[in-house]
Amino acid sequence: MNHDPFQWGRPRDDVYGTYNQSIAKCSNSVEFPSMHTQQPIITGTSVLGLKFKNGIVIAADHMGSYGSLLRFNNIERLIRVGSETVVGISGDISDLQHIERLLHQLETEEEVYDNTGAKLRAPHIHEYLTRVLYNRRSKMDPLWNAVIVAGFNDDRSPFIRYVDLLGVAYGASALATGFGAHLAIPLLRQLVPYDEDYVKVTEEEAREAIVNSMRVLYYRDARASDKYTLATLSFEDGKVQVKFAEDMQVENQSWKFAEKVIGYGSKQL
């Protein structure tokens, strides 16, 4: 028996000669069965999330890229689930739409069919997504996404947690997927150097930090767009409030310096 995983279960070539594919009666047989979710096609770039003392700010732009072609500019990547959770998704857009459907299905089952009085909150939704994503990667058929779930714990303290196509999950006061992990996290961490520092951050500071990070990403991420959605979830006076700003735009860009940049070194004006 051949123990090479790609040849598993086949007779060994050096003992029995090359396996005759036509025996299996598949004319255009290849070495390994074709799989359709093995690479992302239309993709969304970073999602950013930041905790503040009584809530969460989360943002994602509207771009759906087809490779380097900026193909769709009106994709909404922040999904509201229930009354106090927002899920931000980056990565493959068709898989995003699949997850969106799963989440809305879940919401319908929980809040309409057996309305038992217990709310489906962010930690539960995150746990569910972790199961779904890890299950899919274990079938060698991952959902090609990185997801950030923002919302509140049962005691209404802010909750934010990451999970990706491998089922890897972690939490922190500042989170970002993809490109944002390189460019935005260092900026966001100036507000929350340590995990527990989020209690010192106000809603305005958190929002400003996210807006700034979105600008930096627009400067330096070739797949980013300047239109984005920014959601603010806050818990005040015993009530959760979710503000969805879908018409955000990157502003105050600084390009003035550009006219003085000439050549790459020796060339002078």
In the complex, the residues that contact other proteins under the rule CB under 8 A are 114, 116-118, 120, 123-124, 127-128, 131, 154
Active-site residue flag, 37? yes
Query: In this complex, which beta carbon is closest to other proteins, that of residue 110 or of residue 203?
Result: 110
Structure tokens at 236: 């005040």
Tell me how far apart the alpha carbons of residues 30 and 242 are, in angstroms, rounded to a whole number. 51
- Least Å from the CB of residue 46 to other proteins: 27
Query: In this complex, which beta carbon is closest to other proteins, that of residue 87 or of residue 211?
Result: 87
Burial string for 22-60 (b: 16+ CB within 10 Å, else e) reads eeeeeeeeeeeeeeebeebbbbbbbbbbbbbbbbbbbbb
Query: In this complex, which beta carbon is closest to other proteins, that of residue 80 or of residue 124?
Result: 124
- How far from each other are the two terminal CA atoms of the chain, in whole angstroms? 72
Structure tokens at 37: 């979710």
Tell me how far apart the alpha carbons of residues 142 and 31 are, in angstroms, rounded to a whole number. 21
Query: In this complex, which beta carbon is closest to other proteins, that of residue 123 or of residue 181?
Result: 123
Are the C-beta atoms of residues 227 and 73 closer than 8 Å to each other? yes
Choosing from 18, 37, 43, 177, the catalytic residue is: 37
- Least Å from the CB of residue 161 to other proteins: 11
- Least Å from the CB of residue 138 to other proteins: 14
- Least Å from the CB of residue 147 to other proteins: 16
User: Could you give the residue numbers annotated as active site?
Assistant: 37
